Chains A and B, each alone.
Chain A
Amino acid sequence: MHKKIDLKACYALNVLLKNLKLHTICQEANCPNISECFSKKIATFLILGNICTRNCRFCAVKKGKPGVVDIEEPERIAEAVSRLNLKHVVITSVTRDDLPDGGAEHFAKTIYSIRKKMKKIVIEVLIPDFKGEKEAIKKVIEAKPDIIGHNIETVPRLYPIVRKGANFLRSLEVLKTVKALSNGIYTKSGIMLGLGEKEEEILEVFKDLRKVNCDFLSIGQYLSPSRKAYPVKEYVHPDRFDYYKERALALGFLYVASGPYVRSSYLAEEYLEHVEDNKK
């Protein structure tokens, strides 16, 4: 229950990230769990730079024109993962609509590089929608990560307000495509509460995600990452997170993490561990 803050461990991780010139979504998105995760030497790596081509209003990541792709980044990510001796790594990226394949090749290279160094590691990737391009999604699948996540983020009604540039059905299609083209790769999605959605809309999203056989779900409270970001419309009571978890599990998700501070890669190893435990 206690989230011991080990500043020495946090500092060591910061130094490692700086030395290897790597970004994390934990830092770029002002994640509220950063001190807990960094104290445990856990980070979610952000590849393809730290500037996003989309303009989602809930996200603190810088927006603008990204730089060229750093082709040596996959090796450095693998080096960091190896030095940290991670058993489960989560890799995500900014959205790169400027690249022909949205950065899919870079995702694949990162997965290959990590796997080359650490055979048994669980690799989870949290991908953008690649504008729905099947070939791009296929490139990531072929690199054989263990889990492919794509966050649905909110209910369809709020997409034009907080997630311009994205499309609810396209995001569902990404998860559907992963399931259709892959063999044994788990899929995962995440939704934030407190953006102004209604209960029936949330439950509808759960059903939509199950229709495309999404395996895992994270449900967390939206917290405005900066004063410029979209304001919080509601602080959902912690008991409601339990309620939504039960409703989601009843629909057949293999594992659901739900709570105010749950984020899509928070305690990421728990999802698969839960599935493995159930197999025993």
Chain B
Amino acid sequence: MIKQWRFIRSGFCDPYTNMAIDEAILIAHSKKENLPTLRVYGWKPPAFSIGYFQKVEEVLDLNKCKKKGILFVRRITGGKAIFHYQELTYSLTCFKDEINAFGSVKEGFKKICSFLLNAYKKLGLNPHFAIEIKLPASEKSLLCFTSYEDYDIIINGKKLGGNAQKRKKDLIFQHGSIPLQLEIDDFFSFLRYKPEGLEEKVCSLEDVLGRKISFTEIENIIKTSFEETFSVRLVEGGLTFKEQELATKLREEKYKTLEWNLKR
């Protein structure tokens, strides 16, 4: 019997809600209380997410963020900062055996990111993993989209989006961002460290497609690609009651708090 996963299209939520929902799904799955889940979502209002190990004050001009009402939230995954605007974020929660992602973390990363590679191929693009085209190691950057990892996706020599993973024994949690449009000016002024030549290093889907792409179109392509890549069926659904209650608690008691967001 074909394996079933849950597919949640939760639309646009605030940054605290988004992170709280992801963690609630992860906790419920660790107790085997839900199906493995692929969730796709957007951010409203646009906001920064910061990698778990980053120091927010080193990445963002917090005074300016406060003045302009730009929110930020710390993720449970590592990686670098992302400005979530005109993009789609996905999160994936499963056990290793539910996606046959055995082997090293790197191998697992390659395996999981292959659904993105296939999604971009479906759009007629020619994507590669960074390791395949032997991109030189990037300079240390505080921004996700400007630093290369082996299994980041490169199109026309530029990085498209970014992904980060968290593992807990056999449990895998990965999320990633797919920029639909990228206007560097939208977020540049909020950064403490301003990377040079950003335009030459990063791209959005619209840049490489040469046309507009809607949130729903990419959602649907992601869904189909995921089903085909992993031979699973994604059944559309929402949170369980337990997840909903947990997410509410996590939003209020964790992700909204400065204690969490300024942790390091």
Q: A-side interface residues toward B, CB under 8 Å?
A: 1-7, 10-11, 14, 26-27, 30-36, 38, 221, 227, 232, 234-235, 237, 260-261
Contacting residues of chain B (94-140) with chain A, CB-CB under 8 angstroms: none
Contacts of B240 on A, CB cut-off 8 Å?
30, 32, 34-35
Q: Which of B9, B235, B242 contacts A3 (CB 8 A)?
A: B9
Q: Say yes or no: is B1 at the interface (Cβ < 8 Å to chain A).
A: yes
Q: Are B17 and A27 in contact (CB under 8 A)?
A: no
Kindly identify which residue among A2, A14, A34 contacts B239, using a CB–CB cutoff of 8 Å. A34
Residue with the greatest number of chain B CB neighbours at <10 A, chosen from A26, A32, A261: A32
Q: Is B216 an interface residue (CB 8 A)?
A: yes
B1–A3 CB distance below 8 A:
no
Judge if B187 is at the interface, Cβ distance under 8 Å.
no
Task: Say what secondary structure dominates the interface of chain B.
Answer: mixed
Q: Shortest distance in angstroms between A204's beta carbon and chain B's nearest beta carbon?
A: 24
Interface residues of B in 232-254 (CB under 8 A from A): 233, 235-245, 247-248, 251
Total A-B contacts with CB atoms under 8 angstroms apart: 79
| Given contacts A14-B245, A36-B238, A38-B244, A2 and B9 within 8 Å (CB-CB) | yes
- A2: chain B residues within 8 A (beta carbon): 9-12
Asked if B21 lies at the interface with its beta carbon under 8 angstroms from chain A, I say yes
B2 touches A33 (CB 8 A): no
Whether B12 pairs with A4 at a CB distance below 8 angstroms is yes
A1 partner residues in chain B, CB cutoff 8 A: 9, 216
Within B3-49, the residues touching A (CB, 8 Å) are 4, 6, 8-13, 17, 20-21, 32
Determine which residue in B1, B8, B238, B245 has the highest number of CB atoms from chain A within 10 A of its CB, and name it. Answer: B238
Assess A260 versus B241: contact at CB under 8 Å? Given A5-B21, A235-B1.
Answer: no
Q: Which residues of A contact B10 (CB under 8 A)?
A: 2-5, 35
* A7 with B235: CB separation less than 8 A: no
Q: Are A7 and B17 neighbours in the complex by a CB distance under 8 Å?
A: yes
Chain B residues, CB < 8 A from A261: 235-237
Question: Quick check: B248 and A7 within 8 Å, CB to CB?
Answer: yes
Given A4-B13, A221-B235, check contact A35 B244 (CB 8 Å).
Answer: yes
In contact, B241 and A34 (Cβ under 8 angstroms): yes
B233 nearest CB across to chain A (Å): 6
Cα A34 to Cα B4 in complex, Å, equals 19
The answer, among A5, A33, A232, A235, for a CB contact under 8 Å with B17, is A5
| Complex CA distance for A34 and B8, rounded to whole angstroms | 12
Complex contacts, B237 vs chain A, CB 8 Å: 32-33, 261
A10, closest chain B residue (CB): B244
Cα A34 to Cα B239 in complex, Å, equals: 7
Most buried by A among B17, B233, B241: B241
Structural contact, A7 and B247, CB atoms closer than 8 A? yes
Contact for B248 among A4, A11, A227, A235, CB less than 8 A = A11
- Beyond A35-B239, A227-B32, A235-B235, 15 additional contacts (C-beta under 8 Å) are A2-B12, A3-B9, A5-B239, A5-B247, A7-B20, A7-B248, A10-B244, A14-B245, A30-B242, A31-B241, A32-B237, A33-B237, A34-B240, A34-B241, A35-B240
Cβ-neighbour of B238 out of A5, A27, A227, A235 (below 8 A): A5
Q: Please measure, in the bound complex, the distance between the C-alpha atom of A267 and the C-alpha atom of B50, giving whole angstroms.
A: 38
Residues of B within 8 A of A32 (CB): 6, 237-238, 240
